[in-house]
Structure 1
């Protein structure tokens, strides 16, 4: 008896109930595992966003350190600061990129100067003007570079307005100017302050 009801001792029925309860437990466990994975992914995403925001703020500090190392003698104190800063930021996942000789990649590089070389068939980064940084697969800042390569493709004069960024300005110059109105008489002084007319002699 269970709460005044007779227990079901049918083996087939007991097997069915056991199978149902086992499936319920497996479903609950799978749901809990998925929940834990979602929470872990969300925490990692929030952490990566926070780290990326902090690293972006510190990039000007790295630029200042690079300029100082390039123009000042490397003293022991400056070397210690530089090494510590790069080690600590590297432990957070910050990676610098951009070296002379790299193939130009518009997804990672920003060309500031383009030197034309008729013999070249590809754009090559010939000088790094500002180092680029990334955090894993996330680009924090593109590298500013000078590139050397073939000349850019010639513009098509028959193309649309997209190929002529100054078209609107030129059309504005071609519009006729509005007529110029004649200048009004000089009546800047109030009438009460005007000098009385001279009497005729």
Structure 2
């Protein structure tokens, strides 16, 4: 065998190193474990759990306070609306009564004439005039017109207008001695006070 037949390996060529490959394979799992550990979330402590619970309790308390305030506002609005409806209804009834009162006032002079005719004996029963008087009075009553003032009643300055005072022996309190004009009211609305002669105690 000559020197040409046997050639030594070229020093530039690198042969695989079995031990180096094994070392790289051995370190690979350790690097993977280190990566997994770095990506894992940190463990919660008892303080963290307590802080989170307190935060939830505070949020729940704020929500409860909001609901309580909302319920209070709703009840207040309901009460205000109920009062508004009540005042509106009362005002409506008053306005209706006033409008009816203005219409009925036109009948009062006619009723006064009928009362005077009755006192003078002009409304004899069965006469056409008496029939007409009954119809007019019926219309006034259906409209809610109420007449008041009668002889013998106690004098009330809120309802009666005294046009004359007559001292009467034995009288202990002021009473109506004579009704000059009847008073009229429609519901709670005073259309006219009764004009009366009042009997008062004699001195």
Instruction: Tell me which interval the TM-score lies in, with the shorter structure as reference length.
Output: 0.5 to 0.7
Which of 15, 21, 45 aligns to 2:64? It is 15
Structure 2 residue matching 1:29: 3-state secondary structure: helix
Residue-pair matches, total: 145
Question: Equivalent residues in 2 for 1:1-201 (5 A)?
Answer: 11-70=60-119, 71-75=122-126, 77-151=128-202
Q: In structure 2, do the counterparts of structure 1 residues 114 and 29 end up closer, same or farther at CA, with 3 Å as the change threshold?
A: closer
Considering only aligned residues, what root-mean-square deviation do their CA atoms show, in Å? Answer: 3.0
TM-score normalised by the chain length of structure 1? 0.57
**What CA distance in whole angstroms lies between the structure 2 residues aligned with 1:132 and 1:58?**
13
**Contiguous gaps of at least 5 residues in structure 2:** 1-55
Deviation at 1:142, TM superposition (A): 2.1
Which range is displaced more, 94-103 or 13-22?
A: 13-22
Q: Is the 8 A contact 2:181 2:196 kept in 1?
A: yes
Which structure has the highest helix share of the two?
A: 2
